[in-house]
Structure 1
Amino acid sequence: MRWTESDIAIYEKEREYVDTAVLPLIPISMTSSVKTTVSMGEYISIISGELERQLKGRLLLMPAFTYLQTENSESRVERLKQVEEELYQGGIKHIITLSADVEWKQSEAQLSSALLWMPAIPLEHMDEQYKMETVSAQVKQVLQFVTNTWQSNTNS
């Protein structure tokens, strides 16, 4: 389910079955490494969208959590923790954060969400079929991560 009026209407009826939120972490920069920054965000958006499509009805794809590349890590972590808290208070049991920015790995222990870091694969010069195969292979790994997150939180 996506962050749209129609999907949220369904979510409100089916809330007991939708216990997971996926939160893409998307960097913004117009001053340095713009193309790399955009590539990271685009890649995570594609993976997140495909994950939502495959698990529709079980998870809610949240709007991207955006942050400036130049923002200090303490500030971005504090802002993300506020979002996590809002989601948990709203009944979400599992939060999966997806990022292509390796800097999030350094803050992982401070987060209550399950962080999945994936290096961005440049998709711009791939032909469409190879691009879809690549994304599909990545989504399979993400699905395994989500399933493991559900199982580990069930067994805790």
Structure 2
Amino acid sequence: MKWTSEDIDMYIKAKEYVDTIVLPLYPVALDEQIKKTAEMTEFINLLSVQLERQFRGRLIMLPGFNYLKSTDGDATLQDLLKWEREFMAKGFKHIVYITSDSDWKLVEAKLTGSLIWLPTIPLQQMDQQYRNTILKDQIQQLISLFVQKWENIE
């Protein structure tokens, strides 16, 4: 379910069946990394939309956690951990973060939720058909990861 009033109405009615919350992690930089962080955000956003479509009714896809790359990494981590505590307090069994920022791999062990890191694929330079094929392949891999995660706990 998307973070829209319509989908949240559906969530409220079926809350007991929605055990997964997904939070895309979007870096923002306004220096020499500006294009790189924009590509990361674009790529993860495209995957998030497709993932939500596949698992509609089983997960909530949040709009994303935006953070400045120039900010102290520990402060950003502490902010994310606050979000994580809120998710757990609200009864979500599965918390999943999706990102293309490899810096999150350095602090992955500090997270209770699962981190899925995917290298950015520069989609703007591909023709539409090839781009769709790449996205479809990435989504299939993500679907497998989610299904394995759910099967291991249930």
Report the TM range for the smaller structure's normalisation. over 0.9
Cα displacement string for residues 30-59 of structure 1 (whole angstroms, at most 9, x for unaligned residues): 122111110001000001110000110111
Deviation at 1:22, TM superposition (A): 0.9
Q: How does 1:68-79 map onto structure 2 within 5 Å?
A: 68-79=68-79
Equivalent in the alignment of 2:110 = 110
State the 1:119 CA deviation. 0.3
Counterpart residue type for residue 76 of structure 2: R
Aligned partner of 2:139: which letter? V
Distance in 2 (CA, whole Å) between partners of 1:109 and 1:145 is: 18
Q: How many residues align structurally? A: 154
Instruction: Report what 1:124 is aligned to.
Output: 124
Alpha-carbon contact 1:18-1:58 (below 8 Å) kept: yes
Gaps of 5+ in 2: none
Identity %: 39
SS in structure 1 at match of 2:66: strand
Residue of structure 1 equivalent to 2:149:
149
Runs of 5+ unmatched residues, structure 1: none
Runs of 4+ in 1 over 6 A off after TM superposition: none
Aligned to 1:94: 94
- Alignment of 1:81 onto 2:71: no
Shift of 1:78: 0.7
What is the alpha-carbon root mean square deviation over aligned residues?
0.9
Quote the Cα distance in structure 1 between the aligned partners of 2:63 and 2:9. 16
**TM-score, normalised via structure 1 length:** 0.95
